[in-house]
Amino acid sequence: MNRLSLFSPSKLNLFFRVIKRRSDGYHEIASIFQAISLGDVLEVEMSESDLITCTDSQIPCDRSNLVYKALHLFRAKTGLTQKVHFHLKKRVPIQAGLGGGSGNAATALWALNMLFQTKVNPQELCLWSAEIGSDVPFFFSLGTAYCTGRGEILRELSPLRETSLWLAKPNLGLSTPLVYNHCDPASLSSIDPLSVVRAFLEEKPSYFNDLELSAFKLMPELERLKEQLLALGFHTAVMTGSGTAFFCLGEVVEPNLDGITFFKVNFLRREEGSWYQFSDSDKLRTS
């Protein structure tokens, strides 16, 4: 085997609490992360020199790409010297709060471990991956996890009730540090995140995101979008991560809004010992 093609999923935050600002510049959070069927395809093959290519010209293919960071980290940890070519078929929108880049980094680590048969334990890959970014370790769960710390501390959760939902992505994007910087944890809800997790496990979910407040301050169009999504008939429309995508629950057959891309997605899980599988159940529709 000298080439591999893997599905690289994205994620939603079913609820998102910002607990406090930390002295290292990060924020303490508590959230249920759920992998979803909207994803990219990451191909990797042995090569004469290192190279990253991508179907989306907006994505930088230099050292700032999280796939490059994953390769660099894998080399530092394992001593790998072989050069590789990564090709990314991008479908997950950027600056969406869907963790597309983080999923790419986790998938790259898994792919390198397979391709070079380095047999690093997935728990070890998970620990290493926190050096790449706060959202990367989650993807080494089986698809549903309660995440705390800056997002990198995982508690595996049993599968939640299968939910099919719509994602709504406006053309506008938001930078994660900017949204966090505009968030004042003291003014947010004080609800105990563990009680929210228990409620989810008892099938009494409450969906919310503490970062909506700061995202709406920075981009008032997002608050209007939430209202428009509810007016379409969704009973829930909540921003995921630091935005700008929303996930929407409720019986709306063909949602349509000017300037908004809708994606129909499902929750996604993986089997222990294998990576997330390709899913053809998600449909893309642009209005």
- What residues line the site for ligand C5P (CB under 6 A)? 25-27, 29, 133-135, 150-151, 176-177, 180
- Name the residue nearer to ligand C5P (CB basis): 134 or 240: 134
> Minimal distance in Å, beta carbon 25 to ligand C5P?
6
Closest CA to 181 of 136, 217, 153, 135: 217
Cβ-count burial of 235 within 10 angstroms (0-12 exposed, 13-18 middle, 19+ buried)? Answer: exposed
- Name the residue nearer to ligand C5P (CB basis): 25 or 220: 25
Joined tokens for residue 269: 């899980």
> Minimal distance in Å, beta carbon 212 to ligand C5P?
16
- Name the residue nearer to ligand C5P (CB basis): 69 or 226: 69
Residue 50 falls in the annotated catalytic set = no
> Minimal distance in Å, beta carbon 34 to ligand C5P?
17
Of the residues 11, 69, 90, 226, which is catalytic? 11
User: CA 204, CA 135: separation in Å to the nearest integer?
Assistant: 25
- The helices-and-strands tally (H runs, E runs) of the chain is 7, 12
Residue 135 falls in the annotated catalytic set = yes
Of the residues 40, 69, 90, 135, which is catalytic? 135
Closest CA to 95 of 182, 173, 38: 173
- Name the residue nearer to ligand C5P (CB basis): 108 or 260: 108
Phi, psi of 119 (to 5 degrees): 55, 35
Phi, psi of 165 (to 5 degrees): -145, 170
> Minimal distance in Å, beta carbon 216 to ligand C5P?
18
Residue with nearest beta carbon to ligand C5P: 134
DSSP state of 140: G
Which residues are known to be catalytic? Answer: 11, 135
